[in-house]
Amino acid sequence: MKEKLYFVLSMIIFGAVGVFAKYIDLTSSEIALFMSLIGSLFLLIICIYTKHKFSWQNLKKNAVALFIASIALSGNWIFLFQAYKETTIANAALSYYFAPVLVILLSPVVLKEKFSIKKAVCVGIAIAGLYFIMKSSGIEATEHNLLGIFYGLIAAGFYAILTLVNKFIRNMNGLENTFIQLVLSFVMLLPYVLMKDGFKLFKLTGDSVLLMLLLGILHGGIGFYLFFTGMGGLRGQSIAVLSYIDPLTSLFISALVIGEKMTLLQIIGAALLLGSTLISEVNRSGKRPIQK
């Protein structure tokens, strides 16, 4: 129950990320870099305050998985933030939500979980929902909308990899896992950002600085701590039923806070995409989760 609560809270935090990313005057790679830096520093303070000790033996055993997961985390952030900049929060969130569908497709191969006919039907429904969302974006005219959806789908691929790889990390709690992945993500992103963009942090306005700090602490620190801690007690496919809270939060914020409007095709696509993964997880609550 505690794992589910943590995961739900992380999804709510992740669902609000679009508002922050859309209005920060930095490139997507710079946002990812500073978010990993702020998040890791925040968790470092927690580690020092709680006198948490890391096991170097566990770090060595999980080194490969942590490295791959950190690459996936970095790629996930870069493409997701770019998706928010190119299209509406709703379009970016819904295309990004294709990630649970990818988890369902890959779980039988990676985690040896059963892939049923029901799952196959739900995947088909989700693909139909994505088609309606893309068709609606085309009607609304802008190639930026389609580009944003494309970036959202790439981010979804990285998210699926991140989710599955983390199921292979053993004997590390959520705090350790999150801190190490954020540090590795920062180390990987630093040379890339220096070569591609340079640093523009000192050119930011006061509002952007505040948003960046909130994004780093809430999303990079607290959000991913809850995410990694929560997923430890959940099956790979079961994560899908809780993940729908992420895009629903984004849709709620985009409509009521930002004032973005959705077309009928978008609403139909959202209902198909979100409903498919929800239906796919019905009657799974009684099954025993994978233990670390």
The answer to whether residue 204 sits within a structural domain is yes
In a domain, 291, yes or no: no
Please tell me the predicted confidence (pLDDT) of residue 134: 67
pLDDT at 254: 78
Closest CA to 7 of 180, 182, 217, 245: 245
**Total number of domains in the chain:** 1
Q: What is the pLDDT of residue 288?
A: 37
Task: Let me know if 58 is exposed, middle or buried by CB neighbors in 10 A (0-12, 13-18, 19+).
Answer: middle
Tracing tokens 């779980």 back to the chain, one arrives at 107
Domain assignment of residue 181, given as a range: 2-49+62-280
In a domain, 86, yes or no: yes
285 inside domain? no
Look at residue 285 in the predicted model and tell me its pLDDT. 43
**Confidence (pTM):** 0.79
Res 106: pLDDT: 80
Identify residue 229 by its one-letter amino acid code. Answer: T
Count of CB atoms within 10 A of residue 264's CB?
Answer: 9
Residue type, 235: R
In a domain, 222, yes or no: yes
Name which of 124, 212, 166, 115 is nearest 7 in CA terms. Answer: 166
**Contact at 8 Å (CB) between 65 and 162?**
no
> Is residue 139 within 8 Å of residue 269, measured between CB atoms?
no
Residue 290 inside a domain? The answer is no
Residue 199 lies in a domain: yes
Within-domain flag for 11: yes
> In a structure prediction context, what are the per-residue pLDDT tens digits for the chain, which is 292 residues long?
777 888 888 888 888 888 777 778 888 888 899 889 988 998 898 889 888 888 888 899 999 999 999 999 999 999 999 998 888 888 888 888 777 778 777 877 776 777 667 777 777 877 787 777 666 655 444 566 788 889 999 999 998 899 889 888 888 887 888 899 999 999 999 998 888 766 665 566 667 788 888 888 888 788 878 877 787 677 655 666 677 777 778 878 777 777 777 777 778 877 887 777 667 655 544 443 333 3
